[in-house]
């Protein structure tokens, strides 16, 4: 089984060919990603109009390249999958419409994939783990703790009441004059800083339900930063270290609570899985590894190239769905909002 996956929900245009292996994992035959970061950096965030146009400009070339690298033709794939949301609607429409056109021309089934589901199932592509498992999905747009019980069977245990974790990293980076997207810059600066110089709040820490709130932490950091103006490099590194330590503390605490609640909704988890762009953060990974071990579980974090948005995760979600004959009609809608 072999599927083409197309991803255009945010600022990455991506196309990939993935095959199902004999041991039920994915073999990534190609995974082409073109980031638009340079085109959005000047604005300090993704500009939807620019994103949609940029997807149109490169999508054909990228699909052709994914096939070329994988050394397969479109006639050799079993289905065409595209992220149909949630995301910036202009971009979603580009990817989904491309997939529809390819599906019509090749007479291969269309699979309209939920982008969040694709992040959620990536651990099965890489590690072939069994259902159920606890997923911490942490990206620029989403922060969710989800019991993954099966394909299309998700129970959300916790979420954020304000900013997403990646968004908080991005806002802090912007506040401190670091680059975009902020996560990697904050992590780098934090590495050189003292996490204990500032005592920043840990919002929601200790609460019985595993929800997040990050805007208060961001505000506390802004107040410290304003007090210190002009900021020295040391100040910036210490603020980043303090912020990252606070976020990691909160994430570990919230995930611990979610692990406890998991049993009620889904039984015993096979693993703790972290996904989304924030999963690239090494301090986060180390702390979650310890938490998982505490619970007698393995932490599964995707390799860096599969943490951020990519086509392989869409192709894999396509494989998971195709195996269950969950294919879509040509009328499948593009959806800006689409909860798991
Ligand atoms: O999953 P993703 O590529 O796109 C979506 O938002 O769907 O995630 C991007 C987010 C950005 O907010 C970025 O700042 C964050 O992931 N991120 C990080 C790191 N690398 C990326 N956050 C913290 N530490 C990192 N190393
Ligand atoms: Zn994503």
Measured from the Cα of 119, ligand 1's closest atom is 1
Question: Does 308 sit in the ligand 1 pocket, CB within 6 Å?
Answer: yes
**Residue 207: pLDDT above 80?**
yes
Measured from the Cα of 141, ligand 1's closest atom is 6
Provide the angle, in degrees to the nearest 10, between the axes of the packed helices 233-266 and 165-175. 170
Total H helices, total E strands in the chain: 11, 10
State the Rg of the chain over Cα. Answer: 20
Pairwise CA distance, residues 262 & 149, whole Å: 10
Pairwise CA distance, residues 279 & 274, whole Å: 6
Mean pLDDT rounded to a whole number for the chain = 96
The set of long-range contacts for 330-334, using a CB threshold of 8 Å and a minimum separation of 24, is 330/100, 330/103, 330/104, 330/110, 332/84, 332/96, 332/100, 332/110, 332/112, 333/84, 333/112, 334/84, 334/85, 334/89, 334/92, 334/93, 334/96, 334/97
Residue 273: closest CA among 132, 86, 155, 115 = 132
Q: For a ligand 1 pocket test, name from 139, 190, 336 the mutation site with the most ligand atoms within 8 angstroms of its C-beta.
A: 139
Question: Does 181 sit in the ligand 1 pocket, CB within 6 Å?
Answer: yes
Instruction: Read off the pLDDT band of 89 (50, 70, 90).
Output: very high
Q: What is the mean pLDDT of residues 189-210?
A: 97
pLDDT of residue 40: 83
The correct CATH number of 131-270 out of 3.30.300.90, 3.30.420.40, 3.40.50.720, 3.30.1370.60 is 3.30.420.40
The reply to whether CATH 3.30.420.40 applies to domain 2-123+305-323 is: yes
Q: How many CA atoms lie within 13 A of 310 on its CB side?
A: 26
Q: Where are the domains of the chain?
A: 2-123+305-323, 131-270
Q: What is the mean pLDDT of residues 251-268?
A: 97
Instruction: Read off the pLDDT band of 37 (50, 70, 90).
Output: confident
Question: Does 302 sit in the ligand 1 pocket, CB within 6 Å?
Answer: no
């Amino acid at each position: 089984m072999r599927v083409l996956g197309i991803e255009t929900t945010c600022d990455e245009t991506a196309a990939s060919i993935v095959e199902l292996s004999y041991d039920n994992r994915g073999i990534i035959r190609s995974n082409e990603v073109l980031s638009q970061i340079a085109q959005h950096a000047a604005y300090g965030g993704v500009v939807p109009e620019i994103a949609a146009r940029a997807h149109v400009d490169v999508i054909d070339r990228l699909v052709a390249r994914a096939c070329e690298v994988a050394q397969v033709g479109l006639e050799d794939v079993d289905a065409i999958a595209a992220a149909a949301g949630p995301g910036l609607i202009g971009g979603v429409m580009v990817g989904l419409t491309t997939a529809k056109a390819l599906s019509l021309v090749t007479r291969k089934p269309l699979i309209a994939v939920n982008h969040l589901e694709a992040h959620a199932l990536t651990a099965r592509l890489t590690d072939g783990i069994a259902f159920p498992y606890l997923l911490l999905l942490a990206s620029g747009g989403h922060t969710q703790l989800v019991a993954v019980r099966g394909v299309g069977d998700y129970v959300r245990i916790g979420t954020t009441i304000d900013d997403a974790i990646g968004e908080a990293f991005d806002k802090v980076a912007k506040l401190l004059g670091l680059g975009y997207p902020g996560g990697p810059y904050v992590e780098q600066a934090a590495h050189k800083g003292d996490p204990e110089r500032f005592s920043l709040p840990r919002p929601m820490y200790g609460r019985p339900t595993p929800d997040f709130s990050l805007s208060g932490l961001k505000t506390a950091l802004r107040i410290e930063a304003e007090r210190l103006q002009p900021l020295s490099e040391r100040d910036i590194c210490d603020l980043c270290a303090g912020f990252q330590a606070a976020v990691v503390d909160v994430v570990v605490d919230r995930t611990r609570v979610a692990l406890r609640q998991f049993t009620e909704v889904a039984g015993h988890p096979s693993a703790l899985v972290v996904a989304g762009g924030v999963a690239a953060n090494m301090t986060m990974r180390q702390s979650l590894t310890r938490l998982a071990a505490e619970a007698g579980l393995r932490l599964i974090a995707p390799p860096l190239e599969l943490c951020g948005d990519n086509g392989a995760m869409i192709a894999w979600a396509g494989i998971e769905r195709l195996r269950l004959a969950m294919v879509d009609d040509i009328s499948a809608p593009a959806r800006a909002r689409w909860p798991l």
